[in-house]
Amino acid sequence: MTPPRAELARIRTAWAAQQLSLNRLGKLRPLRPRARRKRRAQRRDMRNRLFATAALVLLFCGICVVHGAAPEAQPRRIEITAKRFSFDPGELTLKRGEPVVLVLKSVDVAHGLRFRELGVDVKVGKGAESEVEFTPGKTGDFVGHCSVFCGGGHGSMKLTLHVVE
Q: Which is nearer to Cu ion, 124 or 150 (CB)?
A: 150
Please identify, among the stretches 51-59, 88-96, 118-126, 156-164, the one whose residues bind Cu ion according to the rule CB under 5 A. 156-164
Q: Which is nearer to Cu ion, 157 or 163 (CB)?
A: 157
State in angstroms the smallest separation of the CB of 142 from Cu ion: 18
The dihedral built from the CA positions of residue 26, 32, 34 and 37, taken in this order, carries a sign that is positive
Decide: 104 and 130 in contact? Cβ < 8 Å.
yes
Site size toward Cu ion (CB under 5 A) is 4
Q: Which is nearer to Cu ion, 104 or 150 (CB)?
A: 150
Q: Rounded to an integer, what distance in angstroms lies between the CA atom of residue 105 and that of residue 102?
A: 10
Relative to beta strand 91-95, strand 158-164 is parallel
Considering only 114, 154, 158, 162, the residue that binds Cu ion (CB under 5 A) is 154
Q: What are the φ/ψ torsions at residue 35 (nearest 5 degrees)?
A: -65, -40
**Segment 53-92, which members bind Cu ion (CB under 5 A)?**
none
* Residue (of 95, 78, 96, 97) closest to 87 by Cα position: 78
Decide: 133 and 64 in contact? Cβ < 8 Å.
no
**Segment 134-153, which members bind Cu ion (CB under 5 A)?**
146, 150
161 binds Cu ion (CB under 5 A): no
Q: Which is nearer to Cu ion, 94 or 124 (CB)?
A: 124
Binding site for Cu ion (CB under 5 A): 146, 150, 154, 157
